[in-house]
Amino acid sequence: MLVVILLACCALIAAPAAAVTKYPEGAPSMSAVFTGVNEFTPGDDADISILVKNSGVNPLKQLGVGTIEYEDLPNTARFLSIGLASENDAIIIKTDPQMVGDIKGNGNSMTVRLHAKISTNATEGEYQLPLTLRYRYARVVDQEAADVFHFAYDDAEVTLPVTLRIKPLVKTDVVEAVPEQLSVGSEGFLDLKIQNTGPENGEKAVVKLLRNGQSPVIPADSSVYIGSFNSGETVACRYKVSIAKDAMNQTYPVDLVVTYTNREGATVSSAPTTIGVPVNAKTVFTLVSAVPEVPAGTSQTIEIQYRNDGAVTVYNAQARITPHDPVTMSDNTAFLGDIRPGQTANARYELQADAGAEPKVYSFDSNIRYRDSLGSSLESDTLSVQVRVVPAASGSSVIHLAGCVIAGIIVIIAFLVYRKTKENR
């Protein structure tokens, strides 16, 4: 009876070890596929999601007695790093290789997310991107003792192709940009010739001119409907734009985008195209006439000559002088008409200088109000008009007195003639 009990106890002690499993062979088997969207358009910021799967199995299974189970199975990919690359400049990978840890075999997987930039010059088609996997796996497992394992590892590197598709897109190229009468603070037109250099034909196309950031070139009419916009076709568009008052004499950016319906019936927009628009400085006028002279105590018509030193024609210009004592005016406004760049125009003013005016040069503010090519009313910077008041002529008082005497004599003679005529009657 004692012997039977002892044998039963030994069997109970050995029983847990009898079910221990060992896998003497096996290796990871890696694959990768896109999840979600893998189709992009030129100019896109592409968020790429890739599923990495380990389908490796352990083909041999061994049941042992008196052993412990493996910690590392041969089909486990350990210390896995994943990196995506591109073999051309159409796709620029922004994410460096990532360490993602371990992936066990038998169909276990994980998803990695990478970022890429699709070049605006990318052409339609499929692009094979190499996805490189680097990992380690247990190659040899030696059991040195009942409770001791010795693991030997191999390094592995696998490159898997993943396919990214670039779909066609309308691409715009500005063939010609002609600004008309664009100067600081005014409105004018911008004429554009635009070519579709992309592979896609656009339907129900609208060409939009958009302000670039804080650029002083501000589109007033921003959309032109052109309908069909086929690959290789060139269209002409005309836009009304205004120029901010704080602009300078230089070239400023403006953006162009085409919104259209693609072959799939979706409404999409082309990548923005930035062009430069030259802006002329604010129209400047210069006084080119000599300083006129007005004798004190007299009225005289003076002539002031203005020259358009700007780059655009001004229309319906009117010059105005603001008088002050001791010089006055009956009408301080003169019509100049249209003045082309470099052309001069004359204004005439009737001035009265007080008899007690001090002989010297007097300055008066003058402004020119005009209209641009679209009829907007603008005003020039203030000009300084100078008038020299000179002393009255020395003989003027004598002449005036003589005139008064003669007039008096004439009046007396007329009275005497009238009286004598009346007496005779």
Do residues 207 and 194 touch, judged by C-beta distance below 8 A?
yes
Cα–Cα–Cα angle for 343, 345, 348, rounded to 5 degrees: 170
Predicted confidence pLDDT, tens digits, the chain (425 residues): 554 455 445 444 444 444 455 566 678 999 999 988 888 888 888 999 999 999 988 766 655 645 556 667 888 999 999 999 998 889 999 999 999 999 999 999 999 999 999 987 888 889 999 999 999 998 766 665 556 666 788 899 999 999 999 988 888 999 999 998 888 988 889 999 999 988 889 999 999 999 999 999 999 888 999 999 999 999 999 999 999 988 989 999 999 999 999 988 889 898 889 999 999 888 999 999 999 999 999 999 999 999 999 888 999 999 999 999 999 988 899 999 999 999 999 999 999 999 989 999 999 999 999 998 888 888 999 999 999 999 987 554 445 555 667 877 887 887 677 677 766 66
**Looking at residue 140, what is its pLDDT?**
63
Handedness of CA 120, 124, 126, 127 (dihedral sign): negative
Checking 93-102 for CB contacts under 8 A at 24+ apart, the result is: 93/129, 97/132, 97/134, 100/52, 102/76, 102/77, 102/78
If asked whether residues 91 and 47 sit together in one domain, one would say: yes
271 plus 348 within the same structural domain: no
**CA–CA gap between residue 98 and residue 95 (Å, rounded):** 8
- How far is residue 82's CA from residue 114's CA, in Å, rounded to a whole number? 10
Does 404 map to a domain? no
Residues 50 and 148 in one domain: yes
Q: Pick from 244, 278, 312: which residue ends a domain?
A: 278
Matching residue, tokens 């007005």: 294
| CATH code for position 297 | 2.60.40.10
pLDDT at 399: 53
In angstroms, the Cα distances linking 266 to 38, 202, 204, 260, 338 are 17, 11, 11, 8, 51
Q: Domain check: are 295 and 272 in the same one?
A: no
**Global pTM exceeds 0.85:** no
Cβ atoms within 10 Å, residue 32: 19
Q: Looking at residue 20, what is its pLDDT?
A: 53
- Claim to verify: residue 15 and residue 152 sit in the same structural domain: yes
- For residue 121, the enclosing domain spans 2-166
Q: What is the rounded CA–CA span in Å between residue 113 and residue 98?
A: 10
If one counts every other C-beta atom within 10 angstroms of the C-beta of residue 381, the result is 10
Indicate whether 405 belongs to any domain.
no
| Cβ(294)–Cβ(389) below 8 Å | yes
**Cα 230 to Cα 205: distance, rounded to the nearest angstrom:** 10
Query: What was the pLDDT predicted at 16?
Result: 46
Q: Minimal CA–CA distance to 19: which of 55, 57, 66? A: 66
Q: Is residue 380 part of a domain?
A: yes
User: How far is the C-alpha of 231 from the C-alpha of 198, rounded, in Å?
Assistant: 6
Residues 93 and 206 in one domain: no
Structural domain includes residue 254 = yes
147 and 208 in one domain? no
Task: Count Cβ neighbours within 10 Å for each residue of 76-101 and write b for 16 or more, e otherwise.
Answer: bbbebebbbebeeebbebeeeeeebe
Residues 10 and 151 in one domain: yes
Domain edge (last residue) among 131, 166, 201: 166
Residues 78 and 197 in one domain: no
Report the C-alpha gap between 5 and 12 in whole angstroms. 11
CA distance linking residue 254 with residue 218, whole number of Å: 8
Q: Are residues 43 and 160 in the same domain?
A: yes
137 closest CA partner among 150, 149, 153: 153
Note whether residue 351 is domain-resident: yes
The token pair that represents 358 in the structure block: 């001090």
| Residue 192 and residue 326 in one domain | no
Q: Last residue of some domain: 263, 278, 293?
A: 278
Q: Are 382 and 366 in contact (CB under 8 A)?
A: yes
Count structural domains, the chain. Answer: 3
Q: Is residue 407 part of a domain?
A: no
CA distances from 244 to 2, 68, 211, 215, 218 (A): 110, 82, 12, 9, 8
pLDDT at 69: 60
Q: Is 367 within a domain? A: yes
Angle of CA points 290, 293, 296, to nearest 5°: 165
| Closest of 67, 66, 69, 93 to residue 82, by C-alpha | 93
Q: Is residue 417 part of a domain?
A: no
- Strand 217-219 vs strand 267-269: parallel, antiparallel, or unpaired? unpaired
190/174 Cα distance (integer angstroms): 12
Give the helix/strand (H/E) hosting 9: helix 2-14
Residue 207 shares a structural domain with residue 156: no
